Structure 1
């Protein structure tokens, strides 16, 4: 039996160059993306600066799986990078602690309140913020209400609030809270949620005082990180000589753009290649509307055609052409690119990255959580094109593909398409009330009217826009034919 990865079993030549001596960063949402992105930047920054006080305490928001993977491995794991050549492997040691929020919420609060911690980063996905359709905190959410009622917090907003209040009580100093999720102006967005929570909280005064000195910089992150498979673990074991149950897979491309607005000390991420800037918005919008929107389009259209991976979808010449047209015809006219970013070249690089055959990024994985992804990835482009009296034909096609995916429930080969979405119950109820059931023959107008009526996704403006409605009816009809 192959030995498990650890500091003692790993050959010296493959050990991390730096194993941090203490914890200075807390990360909420310890999934594969963080381990392939921010944790890598943090380790590289430690190597380049010689500062060893920036170990990460990673917080798993749901299950104990990551802790069970990392704890026997001394927190070590590997990043298996797959490009066009041979794969490469690097062992990362920047994560020094793993906590599971549902098991020990008090420990999470204590770690956020630790005076040695000056930065909290987040990758909790769009749905983890529990935002209302209007953009503020959803104060009707049962989990938010339970945190506000005084239980040991289980939501990220509740965890941050409790940690900030504890810092106020102990004089631990101001905190930088750095969202790394795919949200428009993610830092200011999170600050607003915290302000809404404070307004509804019994400890609002202390929390407001901490929010006044805290910083919530915006950021943009980019790296394709597909779900790890058993085959990936086997390949990592062959390369390492030991078994790594926590290996993550990633493409070679790696980017992090951060608003340079911090409340105190931080890792020297710029030494590791991160871009610090006064304005993240142009970078963020280009990435969300070009890369992320195209990813979603290919996921839905590809899944409907029976493709298992994004790379297979891009190899379909028709789908690749539609993805390119989405970027060039609908998206680019809505963007003001940051200095140094050629949008045409960026669009070509997006499709090139998606076509990487070594990255088996499943269409079903990208298709998850469409109700929260569509508003930030596609609907801004739709609104901008409609405002310019232009028909958002390609962006509309991506939305129509999502509608058929949700309502139809099967691909061209008859395989069931899993609906993994935080609003799945509401979506299916809305469709059923309109006489549409998953797996049945679809009626275009019924599907479009039912789903356009979900105001938490489309709002009143798109629901009532006749140009958009007619466009969707035509495209849903084409896709179902």
Structure 2
């Protein structure tokens, strides 16, 4: 039997990817096969790496509320067909990257794009950052005369595609790369995207527990296509529209809930789902109806805000998720500026009066 080709090359082995992109590739109308590359080289995760590609797949358990109803279901993810490490399998990875890859995805953590001293070395090494390793793989593909491919970073970085491309070109310029290679990389499509799903805990040796809600929003641009056909994967004209829903409904709700929690005694160890069942939840739902939804309606986005709110309330009330309000309360003042003050500025003085949001912001600034 011939070896399966993997048009998706993925950098990262996180439980988020296991319960997000890899699950979508497995559930897609036409399933996609994936080679997973561990970029950290962490030998302690060798068991996880091997388990990802077992023929029977690995489990993802989806637990929470969907349309107000409790769900608790398990599925097997079988999209991962091959796993490699950049530390030990570079030659195989380069071969696959040059001969099989059509789409590259990554989720390499908060520090994934940070420069490292080895980034400008002439040859690839494990000491390099992810962008530097990707640069060398792209250089190998260019030298092989292979077709262009689509790069789809998933790190939680605003305009992540634009940022990653800029970093690659910076690396190339720093090591004196062929101008033709830099022009080729410049012409490649790098997708900006926003991903969202709470993946609450790992399963061993591979797998994860996740909430029902999932989103992979990809900004439309020349050469950018959806990596698979799945309900959670959406091509959108403007990521800012989705970012604003998340920021000013879900994130704003968390910040308002912190304010209400403090006002009712700030009991230690309180969970978001517990607060949603108490007076704080009542106050939050009233705030949404009286001020947040009217603010979105004033900007012509009332219907989508209403739909997003219904999903958000389900997420907050997830009976399986232990989300501590004290964790959300960290850096409360900064969060209030980005989530509440920015909403007030967006709605503007010509919009509806928003007295409770002004009061919450005032208390956060005190």
Q: 2:47 aligns with which of 52, 68, 93?
A: 68
Give TM-score scaled by structure 2 length.
0.75
Residue pair 2:245, 2:308 contacting (<8 A) in 1 also: no
Map residues 4-403 of structure 1 onto 2, 5 A cutoff: 21-45=4-28, 48-49=29-30, 54-61=33-40, 63-72=42-51, 74-75=53-54, 76-83=57-64, 84-85=69-70, 87-101=72-86, 103-104=87-88, 106=90, 110=94, 113-130=97-114, 141=115, 143=116, 145-150=117-122, 152=125, 154-203=128-177, 205-228=179-202, 245-261=205-221, 263=223, 267=227, 269-271=228-230, 274-295=233-254, 305-307=267-269, 309-318=271-280, 321-322=283-284, 325=287, 329=291, 333=295, 342-361=304-323, 379=338, 382-383=341-342, 385-386=344-345, 388=348, 394=357
CA contact (8 A) 2:287 2:356 kept: no
Measure the CA separation in 2 of the matches of 1:31 and 1:275.
22
CA distance in 2, matches of 1:367, 1:379: 14
- Secondary structure of the structure 2 residue equivalent to 1:181: coil
Q: Cα offset for 1:126? A: 4.2
Displacement of 1:92: 0.6
Instruction: Please give the secondary structure, in 2, of the residue aligned with 1:99.
Output: strand
Cα deviation digits, residues 322-359 of structure 1 (max 9, x gap) = 58748974797479989895213322321221211122
The Cα of 1:109 is off from its aligned counterpart by 6.2
Q: Distance in 2 between matches of 1:162 and 1:392?
A: 55
Quote how far apart the aligned CAs of 1:44 are: 1.7
Query: Using the alignment, how far apart are the partners of 1:288 and 1:62 within structure 2?
Result: 34
CA contact (8 A) 1:119 1:175 kept: yes
Q: Secondary structure at the match of 1:114?
A: helix
TM-score (norm 1): 0.59
Paired with 1:73 and 1:155, the residues of 2 have a C-alpha distance of 23
The one of the two structures with greater contact order (alpha-carbon pairs below 8 A, sep at least 6) is: 2
C-alpha distance in 1, partners of 2:302/2:345? 28
Q: Is the 8 A contact 2:52 2:83 kept in 1?
A: no
**Structure 1 position 262, deviation (Å):** 6.6
Could you tell me how far 1:245 is from its partner in structure 2? 2.6
Gapped regions of structure 1 (runs ≥ 5): 1-19, 131-140, 234-243, 399-470
Task: Extract unaligned runs of 5+ from structure 2.
Answer: none
Question: For residues 258 and 113 of structure 2, what CA distance do their matches in structure 1 show?
Answer: 24
Match of 1:360, SS state, is coil
CA distance in 2, matches of 1:332, 1:59: 46
Offset, 1:125? 3.9
Q: Assess if the C-alpha contact under 8 Å between 1:58 and 1:95 holds in 2.
A: no
Q: Number of paired residues?
A: 348
CA shift digits 1:286-327 (9 cap, x unpaired): 224432454577689979742364323434532663587489
SS in structure 1 opposite 2:99? Answer: coil
Question: Is the partner of 2:148 in helix, strand or coil?
Answer: coil
Tell me the distance in 2 between the aligned counterparts of 1:348 and 1:165: 47
Query: Does structure 2 retain, via aligned residues, the 8 Å contact 1:110–1:163?
Result: yes
Structure with the larger strand share:
2
Quote the Cα distance in structure 1 between the aligned partners of 2:201 and 2:288: 26
Q: Which structure 1 residue ranges, 4+ long, deviate > 6 Å from structure 2?
A: 299-304, 334-340, 364-368, 389-393
Tell me how far 1:161 sits from its aligned partner: 1.7
Cα RMSD (Å): 4.2
What secondary structure does 2:151 align onto? strand
Other structure's SS at 1:307 match: coil
